[in-house]
Structure 1
Amino acid sequence: MLNIRNKKAVVVGGGNVASRKIVGLVAEGSIVSVISPKINEAIYELVQQGIVHWVARTFEVADVEGAFIIIAATNSQSVNAQVASCCQPEQLVNIVDNPKQSTFHVPAKVQRGDLVIAVSTGGASPLLAKKIRNELAEQYPTDYAEYIAFLAMARQRILAQELSPAKRKALLEESQQQHYYHSVQARQLFFTATDLN
């Protein structure tokens, strides 16, 4: 969990792996540059839309200067290793084919509104992480986002009231009951019944 909004990110590589990394960075509001002589269609579309900056050449040492996050996602181990060797200790680095050279890993995740469930194997098996993520995605369907929004509103309203610690705890625990997930009407009644409207 890291706030990378408006942080500079450099992705070295223009294939499918790089594309997936870029999409994740863009979704989190990072300012992304991609370094690669060639890029795939998905990245090209982001470039055309002005979402991603493309430097159409091979990697150079200066490319990582000022970057908060660097991801090496080429199909060349030597290029990826070169990227790793150029990074500074304060930079976050992900070398897709070498977890030991990485200072962070990108987990497989399920997001339902403000609920984020991340799965990582520390680079040992991204396929297993994705398999577990898919299982969690079935366990927590997309409508779980509405339930999370209800919980956030309930918590906000409960904490805004002058209540005893015991009463506050009881209300917070009550809001967690499973029937509030299944019923919009029950959520509305929660606020009315507890005088939290």
Structure 2
Amino acid sequence: MYFPIMLNIKDKNVLIIGAGNVAFHKAKKLLACECHLKVVSYFFTKEFLKLENIEFIKDHYNKGYLQNNYMVIAATDNKDLNNEIYRDALELGILCSVVSGGASDFILPASFNRGDLSISVSTNGKSPSLSKRIVRDLKCVYDESYEEKVDLLGQIREEMLLSEEIPENEKKFILNEMVNFSVEELRIFAKKMFEGV
């Protein structure tokens, strides 16, 4: 059973074994998190090699590549090799995800961001296609305006929690109600709050 969690991997060493299409898409998502990414494969596509801030290692897998990594993704086209990578990572106490199913410490859900709003969907590996479809639908509901909405709600919350003028029991009520405000209403509220009107 998987426990939903968000990991901060900024500046952490992350390793991908394999360089196929799945590995390519995982690499793009991981790079957005500002990790130190290495990819080991005996072959890289031109598209993969265009990605920046990756250390490419042209080689076959060996256990030594796992050393000093926070997590590893086994993304080869060989199920037996992926399982071997998982067993080796487990032995070394390194988090490992196997993309072809089977044993994994974690899975990477289908996800998208709107600024600081992160939305992820998982079927626990049963149907990645369904997860992607749900994400596509949610992108329509939570459009680009949510980036500003989340920023405004965060600024207002921070200011309100510092305020001594608003009774504590009212703060939570107000903050809960504000999630129903439009972006324009939040802008007006924030302006009044910050100007002390």
Given the two structures, how large is their TM-score scaled by the length of structure 2?
Answer: 0.89
Q: Give the length in aligned residue pairs.
A: 188
**Partner residue, 1:32:** 37
* Counterpart contact for 1:16–1:40, Cα < 8 Å: no
Counterparts in 2 of 1:1-197, with a 5 A limit? 1-46=6-51, 49=52, 51-88=53-90, 90-98=93-101, 100-162=102-164, 163-178=166-181, 180-181=182-183, 183=184, 186-193=185-192, 195-197=193-195
Given the two structures, how large is their TM-score scaled by the length of structure 1?
Answer: 0.89
After superposition, the CA RMSD in angstroms is: 1.5
What is the rounded CA distance, in whole Å, between the counterparts of 1:83 and 1:192 in structure 2?
Answer: 54
Q: Which 4+ stretches in 1 moved above 4 angstroms?
A: none
CA positional deviation for 1:192 = 4.6
What is the rounded CA distance, in whole Å, between the counterparts of 2:130 and 2:11 in structure 1?
Answer: 31
* Counterpart contact for 1:12–1:73, Cα < 8 Å: yes
* Secondary structure class of the residue paired with 1:110: strand
What is the rounded CA distance, in whole Å, between the counterparts of 1:192 and 1:27 in structure 2?
Answer: 32
Relative to structure 1, the CA distance from residue 26 to residue 192 in structure 2 (aligned partners, 3 Å threshold; closer, same or farther) is: closer
Relative to structure 1, the CA distance from residue 79 to residue 174 in structure 2 (aligned partners, 3 Å threshold; closer, same or farther) is: same
Percentage of matched positions with identical amino acids: 28
* Secondary structure class of the residue paired with 1:38: coil
**Please, which runs of 5 or more residues in structure 1 have no aligned partner?**
none
**Could you list the per-position Cα deviations for residues 39-68 of structure 1 after superposition, in whole angstroms to 9, with x for gaps in the alignment?**
12232012xx4x000110110111111111
What is the rounded CA distance, in whole Å, between the counterparts of 2:29 and 2:180 in structure 1?
Answer: 33
CA positional deviation for 1:35 = 0.5
CA positional deviation for 1:116 = 0.8
What is the rounded CA distance, in whole Å, between the counterparts of 1:63 and 1:9 in structure 2?
Answer: 11
* Secondary structure class of the residue paired with 1:101: coil
* Secondary structure class of the residue paired with 1:29: coil
* Counterpart contact for 1:67–1:91, Cα < 8 Å: yes
What is the rounded CA distance, in whole Å, between the counterparts of 1:188 and 1:84 in structure 2?
Answer: 49
* Counterpart contact for 2:90–2:96, Cα < 8 Å: no
Relative to structure 1, the CA distance from residue 192 to residue 57 in structure 2 (aligned partners, 3 Å threshold; closer, same or farther) is: closer
Name the amino acid aligned to 1:45: K
CA positional deviation for 1:144 = 1.1
